[in-house]
Amino acid sequence: MKQLMVKYISYYIERIKYPMMEALEYRADIISLTFTSYAYMLIQLIFITVVVNQFGSIGDWGLDDMIILFASGQFILLATISIFINVWDNTETDIEKGNLDFYLLKPINVLFNYSTRGFVLFQNLPSLMFPVILLYFARDSIIFSPAIFILYLVSIFMSMTIFYSIIVILGSLSFWITDSRYFKLILFGLWKSAALYPADIYPNWALPIFLIIIPIGLLAYAPSYFLVFGFNWQLYAVQVFVTIIFSFGAVFIWNKGIKKYSSASS
């Protein structure tokens, strides 16, 4: 088991070396990407500020709380896509055109190999700083405790795992559906609506839908809740449960799809 872990870690390090060097060469692209990301996040932040100032609060969430929710959501979105850009951008096309042969021939797990093909985290580091800066400015609403900070990081990791699992599942639908790209467009639309607001606004009947079945509403809400209001064992249990179910679900659906895969040469 230890040797297997070392093998995968070493392989992953080798895979990200080139993107690291490439990021240093194309500084103009990084500047352009950073400007676009900052502009988008500033517009969203202005909208949230206007809404909260108009109504005073959204549920029990004041302006600083909403900024923390927004910052956490943007970090989860940017970090996950930056690390797994190949899954986000290319899965449907590679499946439809039969371009997975390269990954199938390697003596390593196909999903791991495919997921680590692209890596643009270094290009997006300046963009990832913006959510961190927002958290600093909203620090008055943060519970400062080592335990809460660790819980927040664990919750962020689980949310990234859930989001990654969702995009793997949606991409894997191309094994059976001719064009499943529209599902990711729907996902992004849901993110801009459901993920930017606390679960407090949903009626009780909608909570299982947006927290468990389509857990977009859980991703930013859970870590932000822990950071603002402290530990909630029920919310934590839900996030752990959803993380496990979607992780195993993504692997299961991908493996089922691989059995139906037809290469470009067949």
H/E stretch holding 94 reads helix 85-96
DSSP SS3 for 210:
helix
Report pLDDT for 24.
53
Q: What is the pLDDT of residue 29?
A: 61
Name the band, by pLDDT with cuts 50, 70 and 90, for residue 197: confident
* pLDDT on residue 230: 94
76-114 burial, b if ≥16 CB within 10 A, otherwise e?
A: bbbbbbbbbbbbbbbbbebbbeeebeebeeeeeebbebb
Tens digit of each residue's pLDDT (9 = 90 or more) over 166-187 = 999 999 998 888 777 778 778 8
Length of the chain: 266
> In the beta sheet, which residues pair with residue 61?
58
Cβ–Cβ < 8 Å for 132, 76: no
Residue 232 has a pLDDT of 96
Predicted confidence at residue 15, as pLDDT, reads: 59
What is the average per-residue pLDDT within 233-261? 95
> What predicted TM-score, i.e. pTM, was given to this entire model?
0.88
Q: Mean pLDDT across the stretch 19-42? A: 68
Mean pLDDT, all residues of the chain: 85
User: Residue 144 corresponds to which tokens in the numbers above?
Assistant: 């400062």
- Please write the tens of the pLDDT for every residue from 62-110: 999 999 999 999 999 999 988 888 888 888 888 888 888 888 887 788 8
Which of 183, 166, 176, 170 is CA-nearest to residue 256?
176
pLDDT at 264 over 60: no
Which one, of 242, 231, 237, 48, lies nearest residue 160 by Cα?
242
* pLDDT digit string, tens, across residues 138-175: 999 999 899 999 999 999 999 999 999 999 999 999 88
Predicted confidence at residue 123, as pLDDT, reads 75
Which pLDDT score is estimated for 22? Answer: 55
Paired tokens of 193? 């609506």
